[in-house]
Structure 1
Amino acid sequence: MCHAALEWSCSRAVSCADILAFAAHDNITLTGNVVYSVLAGRHNGRVSIEKDALDNLPPPMFTAQQLIDRFKNRTITTEEMVLLSGAHTAGRSFSSSFIRRIWNGNTTIVDAGLSPSYAAQLRVLCPLNTSQATAPIDPGSPNMLDNNYYKLLPRGMGLFFSDNQLRVDGNLNVLVNRFAANETLWKERFAAAMVKMGRIHVQTGSCGQVRLNCNVVNPTLSSVCLADSVEEDGLVAKS
């Protein structure tokens, strides 16, 4: 509906990629009172491959080193990776992302980094042989963007195996403790990390297109850049 309304008002002016960036910005502002400028001017690509997207996202079973390496490949530093992980303070997850931490066949199993009482709560929310049930990633404040995520990790309440890796890795745990102790610091640096992440592999100018339908490439031919080409000069700040 949002994109249809934009197309009706000003056709081919706002891309689906920018709409996602604006939506993330507004969600962060409304749930966490974090104010920052979001860059605009992105174009959509002409090719979308699900595997490429999945290959770029860190799975919930990644180790600390795998997390560091995956983000480093996208120019995100270790500190920025820990900052961005704090977004897990809001939202829910399907049980398929953590069910192996709480069930083993027909018996219960508790991951060494998972609190037994928390695991018991998760088993109630996500019974055996289900993958569609969901649980809040941060059971303390699931609808707020705050630093509670970092406070839960020392208590064995990181929902994903990858969350717990931030606690068990000594260098990452230093950052966890720092952001747990200072919410203002985390929010300031989190906003900066979001802006930086929003510039990764952006297409503007002669690259890509502004789609009429977010699910479908425009039927007419348009200028195309090579897959690895990036133009950032067209990005402008929007509050």
Structure 2
Amino acid sequence: MKKMNIISFLSLFLSLVFSIATASSDLGLYPGYYDRVCPEALPTIKRVVEYAVAQERRMGASLLRLHFHDCFVNGCDASILLDQTSTIDSEKNAAPNANSARGFEVIDKIKLEVDKVCGRPVVSCADILTVAARDSVVALGGPSWNVKLGRRDSTTASRTAADANIPSPFMDLPALIKNFQDQGLDEEDLVVLSGAHTLGFAQCRTFRDRIYSDTNIDPAFASHLRTICPQVGSESSLAPLDPTPGSFDVKYFTDLVSKKGLLRSDQALFNGGKTDELVSEYNGDQNEFFEDFAESMIKMGDIKPLTGNRGQVRNNCRKVN
């Protein structure tokens, strides 16, 4: 009888340990989240991203930007992917995203392929966005990092929060610092994550005021941009954010030091303020930039994730199940 009691006790004890371990893993994010349920998930995401970037290098910047714009609105929960409905005010219609955010069809393709290899929808759209951002950076010559996984998808979106929380290209340094602090990110995160602007392009409407009004800009640079972006019209005309918009490098920081930041919010990082030193450091040390960028991307990916029983794994990234 005593032996049976000991066995029962041990059995109960092991069950409790397993339950606690399971609960702990449910509450946090970790790189091996899909190792058992779908080991082919991450290689599949990588394959689709690499194909998309090979077709159009600009797509790498677009996928990276989607992850940023998702995380800054109520956390990294794939809310940016939800289409407009009678109950959802889509973040796609917010000022920072409307006629600007792109790459949604690539995310759809990834979701389709991942669900196919996994046999069912087990990989969240939020995790797909996070991994696709990393794989885009790698595909364009940037650093890699271990993406923590286990996010679930939101069932709501907020156009109002997107308008309020996504940093504006017109912000000065104090506003940028506060914007990032509101997300739990510090001044180093601000500078290094702004380095994502080593990729991609910006529309005329986002830099017109700078090239016609600002004084902290190289005159020849401003003159060239005025041929792309007249004072009236051409709202969507594109200019590269740095001289090598399809390569992940430190040219963005080189431009800031030379007063050739395309956006007002870019040049604000090197304009006699407290972040000048960091910009100079990254300009002179690509390895340091790569290392710090990876760390800050992991930190950003930790912003208010839905885990455990919160949220859902969407069957279609564009709509709630």
TM-score bracket for the superposition, by shorter chain length: 0.7 to 0.9
- What is the aligned partner in structure 2 of residue 101 from structure 1? 210
Equivalent residues in 2 for 1:183-222, closer than 5 Å: 183-218=286-321
Mapping 1:30-179, distance limit 5 Å: 30-102=139-211, 109-127=212-230, 128-138=232-242, 140-179=243-282
TM-score normalised over the length of structure 2: 0.63
Larger Rg: 2
Task: Please give the alpha-carbon distance, in whole angstroms, between the structure 1 residues aligned to 2:175 and 2:218.
Answer: 23
Residue 202 of structure 1 deviates from its aligned partner by 0.5
Give the C-alpha shift of residue 35 in structure 1.
1.9
Q: Give the secondary-structure state (helix, strand or coil) at the position aligned to 1:178.
A: helix
1:34 alignment partner AA: P
Tell me how large the CA RMSD over aligned residues is.
1.3
How high is the TM-score relative to the length of structure 1? Answer: 0.84
Structure 2 counterpart of 1:14, one-letter code: V
The answer to whether residue 110 in structure 2 is matched with residue 2 in structure 1 is: yes
- Deviations 1:24-56 (CA, angstroms, capped at 9, x unpaired): 100111213412111111111010112212322
How big is the shift at 1:115? 1.4
CA distance in 2, matches of 1:125, 1:13: 45
Identify unmatched segments of 5+ residues in structure 2: 1-108
Distance 2:133 2:272 in 1: 29
Using the TM superposition, give the Cα deviation of residue 110 of structure 1 relative to its aligned residue in structure 2, in angstroms.
Answer: 4.4
% of aligned pairs identical?
35
1:22 pairs with 2:119? no
Distance across 1 between alignment mates of 2:213 and 2:173: 20
Higher relative contact order (CA 8 A, sep 6+): 1
Q: Whose helix proportion is higher, 1 or 2?
A: 2
Contact 2:142 2:249 in 1 (8 A): no
CA drift at 1:131: 1.1
Amino acid at match of 1:38: V
Q: 1:92-137 CA distances to partner (integer Å, 9 max, x unpaired)? A: 11111111223xxxxxx34111212111221222233121111110
